[in-house]
Amino acid sequence: MATSKKTTPEEKIVTSSQITDAVTQTNVKVVSETPAMAIGNVYQTAAHSLGLLYENSVSTQGQTEIAYNATISVCVQSLIRN
């Protein structure tokens, strides 16, 4: 069974400078990427919303065209009967 050495608060723990540099660089990289990721999410959401806006607009235009055609048909039938 392997035993591990327990350190006391009085003992100084030595850490390699390469390890601390790697951890620091990783943290800086993550922190520096966060604003770009956030604005990317905003742009993606705005693009999706704009796409839905256009989709609804086209659908509404089609439905309005159907209503206009129905109205014209009823008016023409009314004129023909009279």
Map out the domains of the chain as residue ranges: 23-82
pTM as predicted: 0.52
Residues 6+ apart with CB under 8 A from 7: 13
Confidence grade of residue 26 (pLDDT, cut at 50, 70, 90): confident
Burial of 73 (0-12, 13-18, 19+ CB in 10 A): exposed
Q: What is the pLDDT of residues 28-41, one digit of tens each?
A: 776 777 888 899 99
Is pLDDT of 54 > 90? Answer: yes
What's the pLDDT score for residue 79? Answer: 93
Joined tokens for residue 29: 């990289």
Q: At 19, give phi and psi (nearest 5°).
A: -70, -45
